[in-house]
Structure 1
Amino acid sequence: MSTADDKQKAVEIATAKAVLRYSPYLAYRPFLPSECFVDVLAGSEGAGDFCWCVSRDTGFMQRLCYGGFLPIATPVRGKLRSVVLPKLHEERCVVTDLSRLRVSRSCRKRARKLEFSVDTCFEAVLDKCVEQHGMNWIGLLAKEFLDMYRHPAHGVRMHSIEVWDGDDLVAGEIGWACGSIYTSATGFTRESGAGSVQLCALGCLLRRRGFMAWDFGMGMQYKYDMGAQDVPRPAFVALFRKARAVATTLECARANARDVIDGTHAQTKKEGEQQEGEEEGEGKEGSGLKQAGAKDESMGEGKEGEKVQKAAKGRVNEEARRRKREKRERRRQERMRWTREHAGKGKDGGQAVTTSADSGTPDGGDGAGDEKKKKKSVQ
């Protein structure tokens, strides 16, 4: 160990002792120096949910996240003001199978009016989280999270998730990805239903981008409703280490939130630019056809001119019909996809009423009542 490392360690120990004078309860929790082996500590048992540390070095914070810890902070008396409490839950709330993610019909309907994006305004999302929750743990770590976003390293990539209503940022969250496991840290919402849309769209995006698991941290009912479950610490650490070794990326150009849920959006900025280019090309092609038609019309004189005009209009109309057919086909495919996903989930609990081949009445009936009514009417 170098002289600089020895000096840093001595400073950390002196700072920790000063903290303990005002917060003696921390003495019952493991202390983490910045040079500790995070993976070794993560694999140990019987340490409770929390550790504590005085270092706020960006690299150390990233190593904590890469080890499966969820860094939070708590205020303390004295010069330091607050200390970091890396948390590794004895039971972690995780969606271990993203293919079983549950998306409600009402959320899909609400998503049509909103837009979704990733990493377009990290600082704005962070500020709104602090504004909504106050100077709790997220407010005490805002600077550290911003530094981690600006300087990704140690296998950790910070992300901001955004939901828009026009130009208004109405919901979002801060989180990070380690390989193919994503951890949600905290979020905010300004509009009813927007938070649910953000979570559902994010979950569907994670599934399509190849993520193996979605780490929610502490268990709550709305997380269980989406398909999450509590995973014991040893199993979670094993899952986390397996998933972080599989590389993937979390990207999404700004798109309609319903399209993100359905998977019909451009997932990256490059794909979005290509899609815009294609749409622009189609627009120019249609404009060219109209101009050609107008030119043909001006050249047409008498009967020959009428034929030219009809041919020009026919080309324009055929192009318009082709686009309508494509639009109808896209809608038909969306309806088929929705029907497959919601098959057997009708109001009657998925039990269809069948018809008896002999009597023409629902199963279980003999049609006797109908026969009596007919005889009475004849009399």
Structure 2
Amino acid sequence: MKVSLLHPRELAFPPVDQAQRDGLLAVGGDLSIPRLLEAYRHGVFPWTEDPVTWWSPDPRAVFDLAAFHTPKRLVQKFRQGRFRITRDAAFPAVIAGCAEPAPGREETWITPGFVAAYTALHREGHAHSVEVWEGETLVGGIYGVALGGFFAGESMFHRVTDASKLALCALAAHLRGAGFTLFDTQVATPITRTFGAVDIPRKEYLRRLEAAVALPARF
């Protein structure tokens, strides 16, 4: 099956069941706010910038918010009072932290173009961050995209042990309390699986996505 080439001025994506086995659906287009929102509403996300590639893997990894697992040691660590958690207090700094090289991640997909695109989404109220502070120093965080009761987690980072995990747990708790029903993590990793990430068929994901984006939840 050939990969679809997106029209530079039209926002429509091909049906996701046309994606290749690895999830690659289309190439081209841009990272404009309208195109990004159209993508997330239809279960599609970008992964590279030059060229822009669009993906819809099957299966899809999600967190079950009702069953999200927060390890007791992280709860105890937060209760020690060493860390402070905020939301949308430093989005540009969080995405910059996610773009930094780190041990085992010397290269990152978060290029300057991605930083600019998602920062623009944040200014328009569609992208959000959770920050973890040690004193006045940002030591970890996570960011993603929210539409209705749907949240797409994009990336997280840490500069001290467990800071990104604390951000993830704080985000999940906030989403659950705010009435979100779908927390997308795209492709599961060993770390996200320890917090309860599971794979679901793309058809099930799309059904849940349609219901979630129609909810009046607000981040």
Same-fold call, TM cutoff 0.5: yes
1:194 is aligned, of 152, 163, 177, to 163
2:108 is aligned, of 108, 126, 136, to 136
Considering only CA atoms, is the larger Rg found in Structure 1 or Structure 2?
1
Q: Give the aligned partner of residue 32 of structure 1.
A: 6
Higher share in helix:
1
Matches of residues 164-203 of structure 1 in structure 2 within 5 Å?
Answer: 164-203=133-172
Distance in 1, matches of 2:151 and 2:31, equals 22
Contact 1:182 1:211 in 2 (8 A): yes
How far 1:101 moved relative to its partner? 1.2
Matches of residues 1-16 of structure 1 in structure 2 within 5 Å?
Answer: none
**Superimposed CA distance per residue, residues 129-185 of structure 1 (whole angstroms, 9 cap, x where no aligned partner):** 112356632114111111222234xxxx10011011110101011201111111110
Matches of residues 111-126 of structure 1 in structure 2 within 5 Å?
Answer: 111-112=78-79, 113-126=82-95
CA gap 1:205/1:151 in 2 versus in 1, 3 angstroms: closer
Distance in 2, matches of 1:58 and 1:232, equals 27
Determine whether 1:234 maps to 2:197.
no
SS at match of 1:230: strand
Q: Give the aligned partner of residue 15 of structure 2.
A: 41
Higher share in strand:
2
- Which structure exhibits the higher relative contact order, with contacts defined as CA atoms closer than 8 Å and separated by 6 or more residues? 2
Contact 1:110 1:193 in 2 (8 A): no
Q: Deviation above 4 Å: which 4+ runs of structure 1?
A: none
Per the normalisation by structure 2, the TM-score is 0.88
Residue segments in structure 2 that go unaligned for 5+ positions in a row: none
Contact 2:36 2:45 in 1 (8 A): no
How far 1:58 moved relative to its partner? 2.4
1:103 is aligned, of 46, 51, 70, to 70
Matches of residues 319-338 of structure 1 in structure 2 within 5 Å?
Answer: none
CA gap 1:144/1:135 in 2 versus in 1, 3 angstroms: farther
Distance in 1, matches of 2:171 and 2:216, equals 18
Residue segments in structure 1 that go unaligned for 5+ positions in a row: 1-26, 75-81, 251-379
Contact 2:19 2:56 in 1 (8 A): no
Q: CA RMSD in A?
A: 1.9
Matches of residues 1-379 of structure 1 in structure 2 within 5 Å?
Answer: 28-33=2-7, 34-38=9-13, 41-42=15-16, 44-48=17-21, 49-50=23-24, 51-74=26-49, 82-96=50-64, 98-112=65-79, 113-132=82-101, 136-139=108-111, 140-152=113-125, 157-250=126-219
Amino acid at match of 1:32: L
Distance in 2, matches of 1:221 and 1:56, equals 29
Distance in 1, matches of 2:107 and 2:119, equals 16
Amino acid at match of 2:28: C
CA gap 1:169/1:46 in 2 versus in 1, 3 angstroms: closer
The alignment of Structure 1 onto Structure 2 pairs a total of residues equal to: 210
SS at match of 1:138: coil
Distance in 1, matches of 2:139 and 2:124, equals 27
Contact 2:63 2:184 in 1 (8 A): yes
SS at match of 1:60: helix
